[in-house]
Amino acid sequence: MKSVVILISGRGSNMRSIVEAGLDADIRAVISNRPDAGGLIYARDRGIATAVVDHREFPDRERFDRALAAEIDRHAPDLVVLAGFMRILTPGFVARYDGRMINIHPSLLPAFAGLDTHRRAIESGCRIAGVTVHFVTGELDGGPIIAQAAVPVLADDDETTLAARVLAQEHLLYPQVVRWFVSGRLALRDGRAVLAGERADGARALSVPVADE
Ligand code: GAR
């Protein structure tokens, strides 16, 4: 059975969706860079090992990332899952987990990398928004796309309502991608996310139909 370590910075609802998906995987630990991350309480209550590597205790990114890697490696995971982990990672850290670290980002990448994705999508007049799961490379919110889900942007949406609609899709998409990885179907090959056994006409995307008027 493949092993997984999940990194969080906050409430951890994506971590929770993965834990509760009942995957054939050993969730070895949940690690946060913030001691007050709400998701830590949930993980502890579920009997999952937790750890905090507080970035404020390190003078620079290099040293923080080294400490974080040491904590991750104690659990020897096959897969590192970034689930709302809000840190920019150093090249050495990213290289260490090449092909076995994935991230979820609340936009249809390559649009809207970075922060405030929902506000920026609304301000840009987008009619469709969504979520992307991708392998992590040195590029912020970049890296080979594994799967996406799209939702409509409605005329009366604000950041909160759009974020909630996207988050519901995050909770479906992320466990599915982790399932693919731990069952050995998903890999990073020649800079692309490859899914074994994928039908030629299969789409690695979910979409919510827009209501007809
Ligand atoms: C999620 O919406 C996730 O996509 C986003 O942070 C939120 C974490 O929520 N991640 C990023 O913005 C990464 N660039 P959660 O803690 O409830 O899973």
- What pLDDT sits at residue 61? 97
65 lines ligand 1 (CB under 6 A): no
| CA 213 – ligand 1 centroid, Å | 32
Question: How many angstroms from the chain centroid is the CA of residue 118?
Answer: 16
105 lines ligand 1 (CB under 6 A): yes
Which one of 3.20.20.70, 3.40.50.170, 3.30.110.40, 3.30.200.20 gives the CATH number of domain 105-131+139-213? Answer: 3.40.50.170
- What pLDDT sits at residue 213? 66
Q: How far apart are CA 6 and CA 40, in angstroms?
A: 11
- What pLDDT sits at residue 210? 67
| CA 212 – ligand 1 centroid, Å | 30
31 lines ligand 1 (CB under 6 A): no
| Side-chain-side CA neighbours of residue 178 (13 Å) | 35
Please choose from 36, 104, 159 the residue to mutate so as to test ligand 1's pocket, defined by most ligand atoms within 8 A of CB. 104
Q: Where are the domains of the chain?
A: 1-97, 105-131+139-213
Residue labelled with tokens 């009366």: 156
12 lines ligand 1 (CB under 6 A): yes
| CA 4 – ligand 1 centroid, Å | 18
175 lines ligand 1 (CB under 6 A): no
79 lines ligand 1 (CB under 6 A): no
Could you say which of 55, 105, 118, 171 is catalytic? 105
Successive 10-residue mean pLDDT values, the chain, 213 residues = 98 98 97 98 98 98 98 98 97 97 98 97 97 94 95 97 97 97 97 90 77 65
pTM for the model stands at 0.97
What's the start-to-end Cα distance of the chain, in Å?
Answer: 48
1-97: CATH topology = Rossmann fold (3.40.50)
Question: Is 105 annotated as catalytic?
Answer: yes
- What pLDDT sits at residue 212? 66
Examine domains 1-97 and 105-131+139-213 and report if their fold is the same.
Answer: yes
Give the residue among 62, 64, 103 at the shortest CA–CA distance from 80: 103
Residue labelled with tokens 């991350």: 37
